[in-house]
Amino acid sequence: MTQRKVVDLTGKQQLCQDFLSFFPIFKLFDIISHMILDIRIHPDPVLRQLCEPVTEFGSALSQTLDDMFDTMKASRGIGLAAPQVGLLQQILVVCYKDRKFALINPKIVSKKGKLISEEGCLSLPAIHLNVMRADKIEVHAQNKQGKPVVLKERGMVSRIIQHELDHLNGVLIIDHQPEVEQLIPNLKK
């Protein structure tokens, strides 16, 4: 092992990285602390169940949110709801362009306008459907500390929130298109 002389903060950062490289167990802890969760695929019954409100705000919730963000990123998604990873809790995460946030116990309190646009879903791979959604919404929710959050969104972020909130109520994009059942047999179980 060679000794390094630390002269500034960047040197300290390098020394820390060198230290971690000699003790791979620390890298293992970093890997363990962030997990990629399995995405539930239709017709998994958990996708049709109603989610329960979150009542405990703490380290377990923070870990769940980290895992959901990591899973969404690894799956190349822009939104993810808890039932899509097998959790029946009112949690959704969004990462679109420069926006990244989580909503706990979200409720849409107002909607304005209507737009039809194509949507896909991580739980329905290879299916893309035109879905009508409100253009503007106001959402009341909580953050990961349990503090109240009010969002006023429009356009794509509004669409993502509505899509993910549908999941919390057991609703999928195929439920917005009644004719899909006739086109793809056994899809709407």
Nearest by Cα to 106 from 49, 154, 169: 169
Q: How far apart are the first and last CA of the chain?
A: 61
User: By the 8 A CB rule, do 188 and 180 touch?
Assistant: yes
The structural domains of the chain, ordered by start, are: 37-183 (3.90.45.10)
Nearest by Cα to 48 from 94, 96, 84, 22: 84
Question: 125-144, pLDDT tens digit by residue?
Answer: 989 999 999 999 999 999 99
Computed over every residue of the chain, the mean pLDDT equals 86
Question: 73-90, pLDDT tens digit by residue?
Answer: 999 999 999 999 999 999
Burial of residue 98, with CB atoms counted within 10 A of its CB: 0-12 exposed, 13-18 middle, 19 or more buried? exposed
Catalytic positions, written as ranges: 164
Cα–Cα–Cα angle for 66, 83, 166, rounded to 5 degrees = 110
Asked if the model's pLDDT at residue 185 lies above 70, the reply is no
User: Residue 43: is the preceding peptide bond cis (ω within 30°)?
Assistant: yes
- For the CA atoms of 37, 35, 62, 163, what is the dihedral angle to 10 degrees? -30
Q: Helices 9-22 and 24-33 sit at what angle, rounded to 10 degrees?
A: 90
> How many CA atoms within 13 Å lie on the side-chain side of 82?
23
> How many CA atoms within 13 Å lie on the side-chain side of 23?
8
Mean pLDDT of the region 87-108: 98
Question: 14-55, pLDDT tens digit by residue?
Answer: 444 454 455 554 444 444 467 999 999 999 999 999 999 999
